[in-house]
Amino acid sequence: MQGKILSPQLIIGDDGKHYEYDKNDVINLDGKDLALLTGSQVDFVSFDERVAKSIYIINENVNVSSILSADRISSARAKALWGIGLEFFSCIPNIGYIGQSIGIVGFVLYSMAIYSVSKAAASKSLFKNYITAVISGFLGVFLFVLAIRLLANGEHVSIGTSTIAVLLLAMIALIVAIYFYKVHAELARLSGGSLFLWSFWIYTVSVLLYFVFGIFTGFAGFITFAAFAVSIIVLVPLFVAWWRFKKLEKR
């Protein structure tokens, strides 16, 4: 008999009847999350009117709404990978507002991934640290871009003002670094892998070099190219770290 998956415990057959089942009876599940396969077409054997056995998925349907709403590691992983992929695409030079729009979608998906991991792990600090780092980071970038434009336009800035601006940027950068370190350290602990921490250190060094070169060159073309290069260097190890994150490690 054939039917569709309604939930991780229920199938509706072509005869209109509902059949309970156990995931161990799905022959070709291959570690997939049944909650994300709602609507998939299956073939099964029923020994009575209530239980389905020997279930085989014949037409897999990935439920996007379940991916976006679920607080599971598999869901978080999918959102993070899509988010990083979109962020990488948005960093390609000279694609304008399209790239910015794609980047915003990627950022939202990645934020949702962090939130999902936070919920799945019952962590009170992960998402809070992430939001603190993001807000501080946006403020730092805004001030940095403002400083670059003032220098490029030949605006006169007093030594006192410059000193205050540099100290403010340094303080914000330190806050961002501290909270992003906390986020990546917790992800490394929850995933049982050190690649999240490695991606943090690569990110820190790359962004630091990017800012230094940006200040000293003030060359917009170089800054654009450098931003793309930094994106590749930072996003690749982060993508691999999420790819390997398939279950929560025991504390």
Q: pLDDT per residue over 176-213, tens digit each?
A: 889 999 999 999 999 888 889 988 888 777 766 666 66
Residue 145 tokens read as 């871009």
For residue 48, what are the CA distances in angstroms to 22, 23, 42, 45, 226?
15, 18, 17, 9, 65
- pLDDT for the residue 93: 60
Average pLDDT of the segment spanning 87-114: 81
Q: How far apart are the C-alpha atoms of 202 and 238, rounded to whole Å?
A: 10
How does residue 156 score in pLDDT terms, banded at 50, 70 and 90? Answer: low
Lowest mean pLDDT among 89-93, 110-114, 200-204: 89-93
pTM for this prediction: 0.64
Q: How far apart are the C-alpha atoms of 95 and 154, rounded to whole Å?
A: 28
- pLDDT for the residue 192: 87
Average model confidence (pLDDT) across the chain? 78
Average pLDDT of the segment spanning 38-46: 87
